[in-house]
Amino acid sequence: MKEKQNIIIASLLHRFGGWLVLAVVLGLGVAAGYWGGNWHLVQLQQQLQQQQATIAELYERTERFDYQQHIAQVELGIEQAASKGLQQELLMAQDENFALRRELAFYQKIMAPELEASGVMVDSFELQPNRSTGHFHFRLALVQMDRLRNLTKGSIEIRLSGRLQDQAQSYDLLELAHVEAKDRQFSMRYFTVQAGDFVVPEGFLPERIDVVVNVSGSKQNLSRSFYWADLLAARATASKAADSSDNT
């Protein structure tokens, strides 16, 4: 009986074995395709999540840049407004300064007419010691006081007077500063500045600096004298004031 069953099973396998193998192969193929498609889907989902995260980060960066740009525009507007305010204050200060200079010039014409000629006056003369002994820097400023502000031309002379071996002696300061003749001429509508560096001759004791301004077209020359000790004292006072303001 058992032998008969084995013969029947063998006959069935011989008859349907090919189809069974094919079914198994197809089943395996379907399973492999399913798992492969599922794995690819998982990969696509991961890539999508990464891209979504990248897009979110880009949006965040864009919003941050927009905010920074807005802040920069606001700060720029504030700076522009402050700059405009400072310019207006500067113009007001210049107008006030000019008014004070005109008032000074008015009283100067009455009290000391020799300090102003043809609307030109010596605004200041500054003397500053350099690091090397006997070396100095000077700065002469001339201003035009006339309201019309016509072009004014002329020339400048500066002499350094003092004593050398107990004898009176004077030098051309512009020559000591190696200022050429053409550079001693000026042409101004508002103000002009003459500056330079010079070395005091050995053994010479400076006492006074005399400034003479020759205005073209005017018979009157402008002259003013400055004492050496006063110039150095004024410079020392200005330096102390600057140091005090820096420390505060």
pLDDT of residue 227: 95
Residue-wise pLDDT for 62-110, tens only, equals 777 777 777 777 777 777 777 777 777 777 776 676 666 656 655 555 4
Contacts of residue 226, defined as CB under 8 A and 6 or more positions apart, other chains included, come to 125, 127, 208, 209, 210, 211
The mean pLDDT of 202-228, rounded to a whole number, is 90
What is the three-state SS of 127-183? EEECCCCCEEEEEEEEEECCCCCCCEEEEEEEEEEEEECCEEEEEEHHHHCCCCHHH
CA separation for the pair 124, 236 (Å, rounded): 16
Looking at residue 42, the DSSP 8-state letter turns out to be H
The more confidently predicted of residues 101 and 13 is 101
CA torsion angle 175 179 185 186 (round to 10): -130
| Residue 158 near residue 171 (C-beta atoms within 8 A) | no
Asked if 148 and 190 touch (Cβ cutoff 8 Å), the reply is no
**How far apart (Å, rounded) are the C-alpha atoms in residues 206 and 17?**
131
pLDDT digits (tens, 9 = 90+) for 170-184: 999 999 999 999 999
Partners of 192 in the beta sheet?
142
pTM above 0.85, yes or no: no
List helix spans (H) across the chain: 2-111, 173-176, 228-247
